Amino acid sequence: MAAPMWPQRRLRNGVVAQPESQSATCRCELQTPQCDAVGSTAVVAVVAPDKIIVSNCGDSRAVLCRNGVAIPLSTDHKPDRPDELNRIQEAGGRVIFWDGPRVLGVLAMSRAIGDNYLKPYVISEPEVTITDRTVEDECLILASDGLWDVVSNETACGVARMCLQSRKPPSPPRSPASDTTVTAGEESSDKACSDASILLTKLALARHSTDNVSVAVIDLRRGH
């Protein structure tokens, strides 16, 4: 299943969560020959009241924290993944191990937005997953491989939960006077998510990540 759900990017890694309605105007246009060697990965999440829809292209990843358990909602597009390896070989390409598996010995991912010089071996078709939400869902982590190369799903989930535990979900307002409590609760949640993103980024850098690090944490306890 494919859907053009990403915004224009000229970075190697991109992470975004946005309403689905914004995706129709997004496109990637190559205007000069040099741009053939420019590419990006992307992971997109649409959080609906009862479902989480994730689309990924490349090795950026989405991980759901549910009652303390880390659940990946996307699968990295690596050249040595059996189905990706078969697809590349059937297209006439090769996977060469040079500091890890790489398409033609160059790119360490089998799908990307851009990188036209490696097509048709590297494709830009995303994979989409749909997951039912539950009351046990705590947060969703979207991040580039700069995080996942050095931090496990479980560790990332633990760090995000630690930051969110200091903030309790606001209770439904029972009077006009309680509206300020809800607003304060939402601001507290935003800060906790920001703190979690910053802490995970610092953790990746402290572990000497050699790739770009982009992290977004979404509190899923709102609305429950």
CA atoms of 16 and 6, how far apart (whole Å):
8
Asked which of 4-18, 56-70, 203-217 is least confident by mean pLDDT, the reply is 4-18
Residues 77-107: tens digit of each pLDDT: 999 999 999 999 999 999 999 989 999 999 9
The β-bridge partners of 218 are 140
CA atoms of 176 and 162, how far apart (whole Å):
32
User: Tokens 């029972």 — which residue?
Assistant: 174
Residues 165-194: tens digit of each pLDDT: 876 655 444 444 444 444 565 778 899 999
CA atoms of 197 and 215, how far apart (whole Å):
5
Give the count of alpha carbons within 13 A of 119, CB side only. 12
Whole-prediction pTM: 0.77
How far the first Cα of the chain sits from its last, in Å, is 30
